[in-house]
Amino acid sequence: MRFNKKYKRGLFLLILLLLITTSISFITFKPKNNISNENSVSLSATEDFYEPNNNYTTAFDLTNYYSMWLSSIDGLGAQHDDDWYQIDVAPEFGHLIIECSFSNMSGNIDMDLYDGSDPFNPVATSWTENDDEYIYYNLPWSGIYYIKIHGLNNTNNYDLRWRGDDIYEENDDFWNSRWVNPNFYPNLKIIDYDEDWFHIYLNSGDTIDVSIFFNHDDGNLELELFDPDYNYTIGSYSSNSSNYEEKFLYTAGVSGDWRIRVYRISGSIDVSYDLDIWLNVGDDWMEENDEYWGAHWVDAKYYPDLMIMGDDEDWFRTYLNSDDAIDINIYFDNYQGNLELEFYDPNDSNNLRDGSYSDTNNEFISFTADVSGDWRFRIYHADGNSNVQYNLEIRINGMIGGDDPYEYNNDFYEAYDLHDDERRWLSNIHGLAVQGDDDWYRIDVTPGFQNLIVNLKFDRSRGNINVDIYKLEGMHSTTWITSNYSMTGDDRIDINCSHIDPGIYMIQVRGDYSGLEYNLWWDDERTDNRLDDNYEENDDLMSAYDLSFHQSEPLWRINGTALQKDNDWYRIYVESGF
């Protein structure tokens, strides 16, 4: 084919024009006529499909995308500028997990978490020079939170998701189990290969009925029971996808803190479940209280589900001032057995001051104290030939109190667990406590953070409060460490314990038992000032510290706690089948 010169010249000019136009489309004209080459994206292209989200006011809402990666929602994010995301965290969550996955070789990315009430000061951050960022945050409350993704603005692609863990974490092993009572506990979670452990006190002869309910399509959960000495006793294992529960029924052979274990063996990395615990008691939690001098302390309140076992007796004591009027009622079914009620002088175990005896349901006593002291009352079976459940109600001067939200915590084995509430006043947890009886709290002093500080505030003009610190020894005993018995001074008690051993400690609050309100705060301060830990040198792959023979052991039990002063590498050996 032949072309004339004019045609050739026109074709050449057309091709040249197309080349110039294409080149311009990849050039950004910036202020002051600066030109930069951005040949990866066109002028009109957006970074990702979550824009505009460059500040908290335009944050992309991820609330309804729980546990979903961005890649499964609308594609990966691109860190070209600050990216903000919003989540509304439900009250069922006690911990927040945020994961950002990316390649650091393409540009570093960092991550911040903000409380919705203050989007200017982060409550948690994750800034490393590695692939991926991770935040695990103990939630002080539910509501709006913001996630900020920022970095070198290299348009580095990243993936992001958020999850929540339940309010009972950390309860990942036998020794860190969370205290539970017979009740229904909804909306619990197994995250990844985490385990959930719970403990409940059982007397010998108690029969416990435990069930977990979950969607088997989400994952396969298993349920086990361990005795107080860490011996496996019974379990429930079902692989049937149509079975949405695991359960067992077991009668305790020894008294103590029994453990319930829930774990996942397959399926989703995020499985929700409900825990249901029923208890057919052999005897009640106030034992042993079988005689005058062993009477259990009670105050003006309602005590359900107590038990008389055959010819056993239950004795209780409460402090009355002279002229205080007390009303005592016991409610029971006389068909189960005939209970009787008696009231004794505080200074003479043989001086019976009043009694209630009938062959019908329930017994009651109304009495006005003529001396001040610890008055006793006795409940017993008239025939001693059956087990009878009863409820006890006590009113003083016509009043019945609920004490506080931390009850029942009247002894060390009933202690309210504060180990996740460092540097938080009770007033910011469930409100002020009431010193109407002995109050016990459980805390955990972490290795390397062994300066214990306990602060208590109250109105001394209305009564006195004393504080004792005990260390838990094993499962059934405590060792006294220190105390503050000050009867004068300001309305505050401060205790400082320097360089104590790590472990579980108990705070006992006691005093005049006058219903005085108080606030409590604790912290364990850092004491580990080492230049580095005992696992060095382990700064790279070749020098990784071998943990192969320390399965399930925390580091502090192996060779002390670790310090993140540089990169730390660890090696494990995983056998086939795991």
pLDDT tens-digit profile of 184-196? 888 888 887 789 9
The arithmetic mean of pLDDT across residues 400-421, rounded, is: 78
**pLDDT computed for residue 31 by the predictor:** 35
Query: Using an 8 Å Cβ cutoff, are 124 and 135 in contact?
Result: yes
- The C-alpha atoms of residue 16 and residue 171 are separated, in whole angstroms, by 71
Query: Using an 8 Å Cβ cutoff, are 319 and 373 in contact?
Result: yes
Most confident region among 22-31, 33-42, 206-215, 530-539 by mean pLDDT = 206-215
Please, which pLDDT band fits residue 146 given cuts at 50, 70 and 90?
Answer: very high
Within a 13 Å sphere around the CA of 499, how many CA atoms are in the beta-carbon half?
A: 2
Residue 373 CA, distance from chain mean position: 40
**pLDDT computed for residue 76 by the predictor:** 95
**pLDDT computed for residue 240 by the predictor:** 65
CA R_g for the chain: 32
Nearest to 271 by CA among 218, 211, 195: 218
Burial of 339 (0-12, 13-18, 19+ CB in 10 A): buried
Query: Using an 8 Å Cβ cutoff, are 365 and 328 in contact?
Result: yes
**pLDDT computed for residue 475 by the predictor:** 62
**pLDDT computed for residue 29 by the predictor:** 37
- The C-alpha atoms of residue 170 and residue 176 are separated, in whole angstroms, by 7
The arithmetic mean of pLDDT across residues 215-243, rounded, is: 84
Residue tagged 């385990």 (tokens): 195
- Torsion over CA: 405, 408, 411, 416 (sign): negative
In angstroms, the Cα distances linking 371 to 78, 283, 321 are 78, 33, 7
**pLDDT computed for residue 508 by the predictor:** 93
Tokens coding 298: 């009670």
Mean pLDDT of the chain: 82
Say which amino acid occupies 72.
S
Say which amino acid occupies 58.
T
Judge whether 315-396 and 412-525 match in fold.
Answer: yes
In angstroms, the Cα distances linking 28 to 21, 31, 36 are 13, 10, 6
- The C-alpha atoms of residue 311 and residue 380 are separated, in whole angstroms, by 7
CATH architecture under which domain 315-396 falls: Sandwich (2.60)
Please, which pLDDT band fits residue 60 given cuts at 50, 70 and 90?
Answer: very high
The arithmetic mean of pLDDT across residues 444-462, rounded, is: 83
Select the more confidently predicted residue: 448 or 396. 396
**pLDDT computed for residue 491 by the predictor:** 59
CATH architecture under which domain 412-525 falls: Sandwich (2.60)
Phi and psi angles of residue 357, each rounded to the nearest 5 degrees, phi first: -135, 120
CATH architecture under which domain 56-166 falls: Sandwich (2.60)
Nearest to 194 by CA among 255, 142, 272, 127: 272
Select the more confidently predicted residue: 449 or 543. 543
Tokens coding 240: 């049937």
Say which amino acid occupies 517.
E
- The C-alpha atoms of residue 76 and residue 103 are separated, in whole angstroms, by 13
Contacts of 20 (CB under 8 A, 6+ apart): none
pLDDT tens-digit profile of 248-283? 999 888 878 899 999 988 766 788 899 999 877 655
485-494 burial, b at 16+ Cβ within 10 Å, e below that, comes to: eeeeeeeebe
Within a 13 Å sphere around the CA of 371, how many CA atoms are in the beta-carbon half?
A: 10
- Each domain of the chain, given as residue ranges in start order, spans 5-30, 56-166, 174-280, 315-396, 412-525, 530-578
**Ranges 35-39, 175-179, 398-402, 493-497: which has the least confidence:** 35-39
**pLDDT computed for residue 490 by the predictor:** 53
- Torsion over CA: 453, 458, 460, 463 (sign): negative
Please, which pLDDT band fits residue 39 given cuts at 50, 70 and 90?
Answer: very low
Query: Using an 8 Å Cβ cutoff, are 107 and 79 in contact?
Result: yes
**Ranges 306-315, 316-325, 365-374: which has the least confidence:** 306-315
pLDDT at 487 over 60: no
Tokens coding 197: 């452990």
Tell me if the domain spanning 174-280 has CATH number 2.60.120.10.
Answer: no
**pLDDT computed for residue 414 by the predictor:** 82
Nearest to 89 by CA among 149, 162, 189: 162
Residue 246 CA, distance from chain mean position: 23
**pLDDT computed for residue 303 by the predictor:** 81
Query: Using an 8 Å Cβ cutoff, are 226 and 257 in contact?
Result: no
Please, which pLDDT band fits residue 43 given cuts at 50, 70 and 90?
Answer: very low
Please, which pLDDT band fits residue 342 given cuts at 50, 70 and 90?
Answer: very high
Residue tagged 């002028």 (tokens): 43
Say which amino acid occupies 336.
Q
Query: Using an 8 Å Cβ cutoff, are 405 and 374 in contact?
Result: no
pLDDT at 64 over 70: yes
Query: Could you tell me where the beta strands, DSSP code E, fall in 425-540?
Result: 433-435, 439-445, 451-458, 465-473, 477-484, 492-497, 503-511, 516-525
Tokens coding 320: 């009355």
**Ranges 229-233, 323-327, 395-399: which has the least confidence:** 395-399
CA angle 218–222–225, rounded 5-degree value: 150
